[in-house]
Structure 1
Amino acid sequence: MVEIVRTNDLVLVGFLQSLLENANIPVLVADMHMSALEGMIGAFPRRFLVPDDDAAQARRLIREAGLGGELRHE
């Protein structure tokens, strides 16, 4: 698994998860349940993890959606 995005933006979390799942790219949104501990203040970013084999396609989809600036460095 490789981390491709890290964000506190819950709208972006939902959009990216939908984008990747609709492209049949398995995605794990890590730290999603930290919100219960933090009180929904956005202190802990959510991390998007995809299989190594799907990382290039996931990055391409995110760039094509105009969100290339959200990508972690390769």
Structure 2
Amino acid sequence: MRTLIATSNPVLLSYAQSLLADARMRSEIFDQHVSFIEGGIGAFPRRLVVADDDYEAARRLLIDADLEADLLKNEG
């Protein structure tokens, strides 16, 4: 699994995940339970991840949707 976006913005995560689902790419939100524990102060961003095989196509899809500024840079 590779991370596309790490953010505390639930609207951004939902939108990006919806775009990926529409393109039939499975994604997961990691760290959402940690964000509940920390009380919603935004100290621990949630991560949107996809399978390694979908990573490049998912990045292109989100860039085409004008979300390039929200993508992690040089994620390995």
The normalised TM-score by structure 2 is 0.88
Task: Say what the alpha-carbon RMSD is for the aligned residues.
Answer: 1.1
Question: Which whole-Å CA distance do the structure 1 matches of 2:3 and 2:10 have between them?
Answer: 17
Task: Specify every segment of 5 or more residues in structure 2 that has no aligned partner in the other structure, as ranges.
Answer: none
Query: Matches of residues 10-49 of structure 1 in structure 2 within 5 Å?
Result: 10-49=10-49
Q: Secondary structure at the match of 1:29?
A: strand
Task: Specify every segment of 5 or more residues in structure 1 that has no aligned partner in the other structure, as ranges.
Answer: none
Identity of aligned residues (%): 43
Question: Which whole-Å CA distance do the structure 2 matches of 1:52 and 1:44 have between them?
Answer: 23
Aligned letter for 1:40? G
Q: Which residue of 2 aligns with 1:68?
A: 68
The normalised TM-score by structure 1 is 0.90
Runs ≥4 residues deviating over 2 A = none
Shift of 1:73: 2.0
Q: How many residues align?
A: 74
